Homo-oligomer: A and B are copies of this chain.
Amino acid sequence: MSDLLERLRGRGWRMTAQRRVVAEVLAGDHVHLTADEVHARAVAKLPEISRATVYNTLGELVTLGEVLEVSTDKRAKRYDPNAHRPHHHLVCAQCGSIRDVHPTGNPMADLPDSERFGFTVSDVEVTYRGVCPNCAKA
C-alpha cells in the first residue's frame, strides 16, 4: 500500500502521520472496515488520532477513487481499499464477514432498455448473501 502513498504525494497531499496510519490500516485483501474500526486500529498505532481525521481521510480517499464505500449491512458504511479491480461482494448473513468475488458475465447487459426508464445506467453493484463455512458448522 506504499504505492498508494506515492500516488497521494503525487496528487499534492501533505504526508502526515495520521494519513500514513490510515493507509496502513487499510492494507490487505478482503478488507472492509467501518470508519470506527479504522479509527480503533489507527489509535493502536497513533493514540492521539481523532475520529474526525479518520472520517476526513476516508472521505478524501473515496473522492479520489482510491477507496470504495460499501454498504452491505444496513449499519455503518464500510471502506474497501480494493478499488482498482472491479468486484462484487459475498456476505455472511450471520456473522457479517465479507469476501470479494468476481462473477462471470456482465449484469449490466441483463437490464433491457425497456427496464431502464430513460436512465443512463453507468454502474451495477451485486451483493450475494449466504452463510459462511464457519457459521454453517456451528
Contact = CB atoms under 8 A, between A and B. Distances in A.
Given A71-B74, A77-B74, A121 B129 contact: yes
Contacts of A121: 90, 128-130
A130 B119 contact: yes
A63 interface: no
Interface in A67-114: 69, 71, 74, 77, 90, 92-93, 99, 101-105, 107-108, 110-112
A127 interface: yes
A123 interface: yes
Given A103-B110, A104-B112, A129 B124 contact: yes
Contacts of A132: 117-119
